[in-house]
Amino acid sequence: MIKTWLKRVFFWSGSVATLTMISLASPMVSAQSEQSGFSVQVTPSPLVATIQPGVQSKLELKVKNIGTSTDTLKIETRSFKIDEETGAVDLSDNSPAEIADWISYSDPTFTIKPGEWQTQEITIDLPADTGFSYSFAFVISRTVVDKAESGNTIAGSVAIFTLLNVDRPGAVRKLEVTSFKATQSFYEYLPVRFKAKFKNTGNVIVQPFGNVFIQRGSSDAESISTLPVNDVRGYIIPGSSRVIDSDWADGFPVYETVVSGNEEKEDLNWDWSKLTDFRIGQYTAKLIAVYNDGMRDVPIERTATFWVFPWRIALVAFAVFAVFAAGIVMILRKLYLAFRRGKSRKSKSNN
């Protein structure tokens, strides 16, 4: 039997491909399936909390049925794995063994009417001798799976990714920038894409943020442009790496992505109002990121250099200049020859 997951919505860093950084950009996650009628909203998403070991903690998830029929749902705890190379997430069908026995629900199975909100109270009872952080998912799905006409299983579900920091001695918040660079050393036109790779080398979640400053030189007092880094305030889980992209597109001209039907293509945008922002030459990008180590904000700084050289524009400009220069030379040569002829005639007449 083939399982067809019509709608499993993951909210982290705005992407369903990466979970190592979990974002708080949206306080609510939704899942809808037109074929099965499954349609719910859950808040907060993701769920991030700091809890005490040896003390029973209570967390809440609010679930709303935004569909048109009454649903009987269940909530379960699921583990996941992360591909360190691609950042892709594999949500497991198994419970996280390291914490599942310490989690209980007020209503593991519940019935919810259309338009109704229900609060799911989650109890986490960590022993005194426990870890420093845990990451897993709460998955809400139907108790009964519909059958499609083709015989395939149709399952609707929503995953709420959860990060728990354990407030205990020995917690270490530490972050490193393992690399920072432009994707190319040479660009003909903007945009320029920067990739900053962060690695959480501590044992609790961290939340970096900062800016990339575009400058002519690394010692310049003023920047040409300022780009945000992790403006969605995403978290990075312990032992994981995360690449954060920043694009510099403030210039003239600049490539823009244009969608035509089902195709995407890059078109050069000639916004003449930005003619004064013509970019050419070598530039320096300075990354200044900050994270909190539990005591203070710790800055991290990296730099990268790159070139922007619109060679086709330069080639046309050189050709125009060459033609103009050749014309000037020809005019000057004619004037010189005319002057020599005039001087020669004058010399002959004097003789």
Sequence-separated (6 or more) residues with CB below 8 Å from residue 152: 1, 2, 3, 4
Other CB atoms within 10 A of residue 125 CB: 14
Q: What is the pLDDT of residue 87?
A: 62
Q: If DSSP codes are grouped into helix, strand and coil, which group holds residue 122?
A: strand
**Chain segment 194-215, per-residue pLDDT in tens:** 999 999 999 999 999 999 999 9
Q: Is the pLDDT of residue 350 over 70?
A: no
What phi and psi, each to the nearest 5 degrees, are found at residue 177? -100, 105
Distance (Å, whole) CA 27 – CA 60: 13
Note the residue count of the chain.
351
Structure tokens at 274: 């930005």
Distance (Å, whole) CA 67 – CA 30: 11
CATH topology of domain 3-166: Immunoglobulin-like (2.60.40)
Q: Is the pLDDT of residue 251 over 50?
A: yes
Please, what is the end-to-end C-alpha distance for the chain in angstroms?
114
Domain regions of the chain by residue span: 3-166, 175-309, 316-351
The percent of residues in the chain predicted with pLDDT above 90, rounded, is: 60
What is the 3-state secondary structure of 43-61? ECCCEEEEECCCCEEEEEE
User: Averaged over 324-350, what is the pLDDT?
Assistant: 81
Q: What is the pLDDT of residue 351?
A: 62
Quote the DSSP letter at residue 329.
H
Q: What is the pLDDT of residue 146?
A: 63
Taking the CA of residue 27 as centre, how many other CA atoms within 13 Å lie in the half-sphere pointing to its CB? Answer: 1
Domains 3-166 and 175-309 share a fold: yes
**Chain segment 152-176, per-residue pLDDT in tens:** 544 678 899 899 999 999 999 999 9
Distance (Å, whole) CA 78 – CA 154: 19
For 175-309, CATH number? Answer: 2.60.40.10
Confidence of residue 27 (pLDDT cuts 50, 70, 90): low
Q: What is the pLDDT of residue 6?
A: 26
DSSP 159-192: EEEEEEEE--TT----EEEEEEEES-SEESSB-E
Q: What is the pLDDT of residue 16?
A: 31
User: Averaged over 73-77, what is the pLDDT?
Assistant: 95
